[in-house]
């Protein structure tokens, strides 16, 4: 799969850990889950991408700017490794493109008229209350 931005393999740390959840006796013996650690702050990514990602509030980011991801969906270590890398690049793609800038627009004539009519009706209701007190 070709991505717009590439992360050097040396910047990604993959380690095998034991998966959580049901699995019988085998779950306690086999380390099939993968924990991916990516030091975002010290990576070779462009600065604008780093800033967007660090300011995103992603719960998988530590205070030091390290992205931690756990992949344990599959039964094999190889499949979980591929899944972890795919999810890393998926997350990277999300922050690679800058957000669209908001263009200021004017309210339509009709929406202004409806708002003013609503205000006039509310004003009449309140004025009528004043006379009955």
Q: Given this model, what pLDDT does residue 26 score?
A: 66
Which position has the higher pLDDT, 84 or 58?
Answer: 84
Token pair listed for 33: 């889950």
pTM recorded for the entire structure: 0.66
pLDDT reported for residue 110: 97
Q: Which CATH architecture group holds 9-96?
A: 2-Layer Sandwich (3.30)
Beta strands of the chain (E only): which ranges? Answer: 12-17, 33-39, 66-71
- State pLDDT tens for residues 42-56: 888 888 888 888 888
pLDDT of residue 32: 81
At 117 the three-state DSSP class reads helix
List 15's β-bridge partners, or say none.
Answer: 35
Cα separation of the two ends of the chain: 74
Residues 6+ apart with CB under 8 A from 50: 40, 41, 43
């Amino acid at each position: 799969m070709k991505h717009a931005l590439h992360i050097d393999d040396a910047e990604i740390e993959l380690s095998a850990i034991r998966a959580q959840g049901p699995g019988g006796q085998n779950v306690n013996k086999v380390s099939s889950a993968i924990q991916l650690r990516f030091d975002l702050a010290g990576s070779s990514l462009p600065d604008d991408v780093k800033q967007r990602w660090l300011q995103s509030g992603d719960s998988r980011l530590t205070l030091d700017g390290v992205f931690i991801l756990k992949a344990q969906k599959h039964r094999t270590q190889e499949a979980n490794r591929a899944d972890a890398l795919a999810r890393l690049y998926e997350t990277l793609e999300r922050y690679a493109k800058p957000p669209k800038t908001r263009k200021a627009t004017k309210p339509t004539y009709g929406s202004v008229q409806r708002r003013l009519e609503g205000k006039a009706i509310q004003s009449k209701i309140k004025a009528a209350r004043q006379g009955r007190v």
